[in-house]
Structure formats: structure tokens, C-alpha cells
Structure 1
């Protein structure tokens, strides 16, 4: 009797891979619905320790949630109002950047010709269209005006999630086949993700404030916008701080000159050195239990699957997936590949 060409284990693996592909495609198609839920979930995880502290001083949970969400709404409204004003100012400034670009480009032209690169400044200027930049910023202002509805629905979802937290352990114990082991794994995932998000949020906030002070001292226009960008992109591992530095450096290079731009670059390098290489590793401990390669690949994967929010939350999402994989015999092998062996 001939041996079967495909063994049962191989067939099972193929079926599981097919199911995984179908699930990922479904998530990507439904990303517009899934992303707000995931974002609300992680915001609730960040806020829950604060709610518990207020409960510890005998503040009722409903009142604690109301106070925290009210403060967040006030801060968001103020930020959006200030950001909208700044964007309007930026829109009025953009048409002047075409003439400002000519001088630094003429300075660079002889240097490029010395190394054998033939560049015509007059030809390059023809491709610079300020109208497209103005249209981009105008679109951003329109999105800001429409953002309040989305933010309100997002915070409303967070409120209901926070109200549901006390009942979750009982529901999960009834849902899980092995309640004791499952609850330990869920608590471990929540603790890891919560610790990462709370510390990362605190570090990102301080980073944004330091960037704001640094740019204000260097008299860089729109310092608040670039500080807010530094705060947001600091959640993205490895490349976030680099991406946050590009717009202000380009702005200073165009409007102020090479020397001022080098000062801004030096300021960003100093901030990233202190916060990224000294403060953050000490506060978060010896790594995240994930290899450096996995952190970078997770940035690409979650960014492809969920867009910009996936990039911002790539590390906590990967931590949760790794802990979930550790609960099954087959998943433990994959979890080992994701882990940082120097930590174990």
C-alpha cells in the first residue's frame, strides 16, 4: 500500500495557515471598524490604573471615570483649537517657501557639481508647487474639524470599557476552558501591556515637552506642532523619533539656513540619546521580551494590517500575541522565535 503523499500534521498545518490568511485579510478589510475598537481598548488599559488609584482614595468608580474623561475632553478640545489656529498660520506661510528654497538650493548647486552631479536650480524650482502643500494642510484642518465626532465616540467606547472592567474576571472565568491558567495569562498580558503603555506615554509626553522647549528656545516656528508630532511618533519604535525630526529640520533649513538646521539636528540627537538610550531602557527594564528584529518586523506587519494606529501600537500588540502563543504547545515554539533569548 502506497504511503500518503501528505501527512495529517502537514495537512493540519496547511489548513491552519489558510485560516490565518483568511483572518488577516478579514482584519485588513474591516480595519476601519477594528482600529477604533483597538485604540479604545489600549486607552482604557492606560487609564485603568489611574481609575484604580482614585478608587483607592474612596472615589466611586463612576465618578472617577467621569473626572478622568472630562479632563481628557478638555485637554483634547484645547489642543485641537490651538492646533487648528497653528495650521491656519502654516497655510498662510506655505506660499512663501518657494522663494525661500531658492537660496539654499543655489548654495548646494556648486557642491553637487564638484562631485559630478549636474543640477539646475531653475529646473527644480519649476517642480515646486506651493498649491499642493496648501491643499494638504487645508485638508488636515478639515479633518481636525471633523475629528471631534470620532474622538467623542472613541471616548464613549472607553467609558463603557472602563465601566465593564470589574465584571470582566467573572465573565472570562466562565468563558475559558482552563480558568486558572487562562486568567494568569490574561493578567500577565494586561500587566505587561499596561506597564509598557503607561511608561511609554509618560516618556513620550516628557519628550514632547522637551522638544517644545528646545524648538521655542531656538525660535523655530510651529514648535507646538512639531512637539505634538514628537509625542505621537515616539510610540513608534526604532524610527519614530527620526520621522518626527524631519519636518522641523526641513523647515529650519529652508527658512533659517544650514547652521540653525544643524542646531535643531543636534537638539533632536541629544533628546533621543537621553530618552531613547538612557531613560527609557532604565524605566522599562531589560528589554520587552522581544528581539530587536521582531520589534522592527512587527512595526511593518501591524502598520500594513492596521495602518498608522498599528504602527503606534505594534509593540503592545506583539507582546499580547506572544503571551497568547505561550499558552499552547504549538504556539510556544513561535513564541520562542519572537522572544529575546538574552532576557530569559
Structure 2
């Protein structure tokens, strides 16, 4: 049966129209589970640091012993390869380090005790030198009065500040005898048993890949911390020796003690050189008759620390592990606030450990730039 003309079959054309997704619920940019996880991790970190601060008398010596022991482990391994038992190596290394620190402290304590017997005389001499600032302060006060501002400086001449800060400063700087004994005992035992601790930590994990990653992390931490201690100690001893030579050439009193103090303070990044610069200014103003002569040694020390901080240290340590200056400063401020001067000494090693853990646990990938 033939089809009628108006009934001829026309091919049906399907016109594709995009489906609107206005009714489809899109996932949020930040999921609730991610926000909860971030909040829980933040609370955990706050609780951990609160415990570290509250139990400082226990955690500071133990953490310091772990960090310093890891730094000294390569030396113990070197002695062990020379057929010296590791327990004996631990005693020898701790004794040698203690003797070196005692020698430097002895160089510093001798002039300090000598100067402490002449404090009234030194204070009068320093007060006489500070009279040169009386006229600039008076001019500044007159300028403020002309401008209608409040007086920022008193009309009386320069006076030395009171020394009520001495006792709190000593309590802040000096650890207790029990903390010192805990640090020494933990340090010796850690160095002596470091090999067994490594093995036990590696065998804690079951998978082969996890054990291999743990071994790489421990090797990297030991290598970088050992190299860091060796390089920083060498640089700081060089800074101390050059500072002593500068003080001797200028004619500063007790150049050996000032050089030892510069070497010790240089272990504290940023804060140590600034403190040493201030100390050299004070000693120079007291020891020399004129202001220009008293500022020669501080100016030379400032040039020395500039060269050391911008050229020597980055050229030596920067090749092994790059440390961001902002991260070093923030870590130094935080650990000094939490644990005092010893925390400032541990700030850079702890930052190195954190960077190593980040690189091995979360390896960096190529960013997808637009």
C-alpha cells in the first residue's frame, strides 16, 4: 500500500540541547570533614605545645639530648669503626664536648668576675660617657614642646637603669641542676643506644616500603644534623677567634673572653650577634676615653657578622640544606619564647628535622600553573 504524499516518512532530526545543571547540587569548596579534620589537628598541636611549655623541666632536657645526641652520633660511629665500644665512645664524646664548653665559659667568667668587683667605678665611667647625649635629648625635648607634644624624655641628665632585671634574667638563662643531670644522662644513653633505637624504630613498621622510608628519614636526619653541628661549630669558632683578634688589635680589655662570648652567642641565630654587638658597644664606651675609639670594635664585628651571615654560612650550609630566613626567624622567636635560650639553640635543628620529614612524607610535586 503506497503512502500518501503528506504521510511520507521524514527522517527525524535530533537536536542536542545541553542539560541545565542548575538543579544539581554542587559540592562545597571546603568540605565539612576537611574543616573538622583541620580543627582537630589545630587543637592537637595547641595541646602538644601547651604540654611542652607546662612540662618544660622534663621535655627540654630530653629533646635537647635527642637533638644533640643525633648531631654527635656520626662521631660515635667514627669511633666505633675504630673498634671503640659505643658506650665508651658516648662517654668520651660527652666529656670532650663538656670540656670545650667549660673552657669557653671559663674564658668568659674570669673577666666577668673581675669586672663585677669594680661595678661602681665602671658605672660612674659609663655615666660620664652618656653625658654626651644630654644636649641632643634636651634639643629633642624643646622641639617637642614647640610642636605641642608630650615630653618623651625627662629633663634630668642621663641615668643608668635600675638592675631589678638581674635576678629574673639569671633564672631565665640558667637551668636547674636536676635538668642538667637529666640532659647529661639522657645524652650519654641516647648516643650509646642509638643503633638499637634505630633498629627498633624501623622494625615498628610492617611494610617494606614503610621501613625503607623510615630508614631514609633517619639517615637524612643524622647526616644533616651532624653536618650542621660540624659546620656551625667551625664557623662560630672562627667568628670568635676573629672577634678576639679584632678586640686585641683595638685594645679592648679581655679579648679572649670577648672572643669566647662571641663564639657562644653566635650559636643563637640573629639574637646572638645582636647581643654581642651591644656588649661590645658597652665595653668600648667604658674602656676607651672617646666615643669614636669605643665604636671601632663594634663596627668591625658588625662587618664580620655581615660577611659571615651573607656569604660564608650560606655558601657552606646552603649547599647541604636550604633554610628560609623567615622560617628561621619565626622558629627562633617561637622556641625562644617557649623554652628560653636553649630553645633558641634548638630552633634551627628542629627546623631541619621538620623539613626532612616534609620532603620524605610529602614529596614535592610539579605545580600545575595556569
Q: Which TM-score applies when normalising by structure 2?
A: 0.75
* 1:197-235 Cα distance to aligned partner (Å, 9 max, x none): 221122112212222222233232343443333222212
Q: Where does residue 35 of structure 1 map in the other structure?
A: 60
Q: Which TM-score applies when normalising by structure 1?
A: 0.81
Residues 1:285 and 2:318 aligned together: yes
* 1:96-135 Cα distance to aligned partner (Å, 9 max, x none): 233213332222323444554786684433x544xx38x9
CA distance in 1 between partners of 2:310 and 2:137 (Å): 35
Judge conservation of contact 2:61–2:180 (CA < 8 Å) in 1.
no
Q: Where does residue 127 of structure 2 map in the other structure?
A: 102
- State the superposition RMSD in angstroms: 3.3
CA distance in 2 between partners of 1:288 and 1:42 (Å): 17
Q: Where does residue 230 of structure 1 map in the other structure?
A: 262
* 1:163-184 Cα distance to aligned partner (Å, 9 max, x none): 1112123201122352111221
Q: Where does residue 124 of structure 1 map in the other structure?
A: 158
Judge conservation of contact 2:107–2:260 (CA < 8 Å) in 1.
no
Judge conservation of contact 1:230–1:245 (CA < 8 Å) in 2.
no
1:83 is displaced (CA, Å) by: 4.2
Residues 1:164 and 2:196 aligned together: no
Q: Where does residue 321 of structure 1 map in the other structure?
A: 354
Residues 1:176 and 2:208 aligned together: no
Judge conservation of contact 2:90–2:191 (CA < 8 Å) in 1.
yes
Residues 1:267 and 2:300 aligned together: yes
Which structure's residues are more often helix, by fraction?
1
Q: Where does structure 1 lack aligned partners over 5 or more consecutive residues?
A: 337-344
Residues 1:308 and 2:338 aligned together: no
Q: Where does residue 136 of structure 1 map in the other structure?
A: 166
Residues 1:200 and 2:211 aligned together: no
Alignment of 1:71-82 (within 5 A): 71-82=96-107
Call closer, same or farther: CA 1:216–1:81 in 2, change over 3 Å.
same
Call closer, same or farther: CA 1:292–1:242 in 2, change over 3 Å.
same
Judge conservation of contact 1:204–1:235 (CA < 8 Å) in 2.
yes
Provide the aligned length of Structure 1 versus Structure 2: 326
Higher relative contact order (CA 8 A, sep 6+): 2
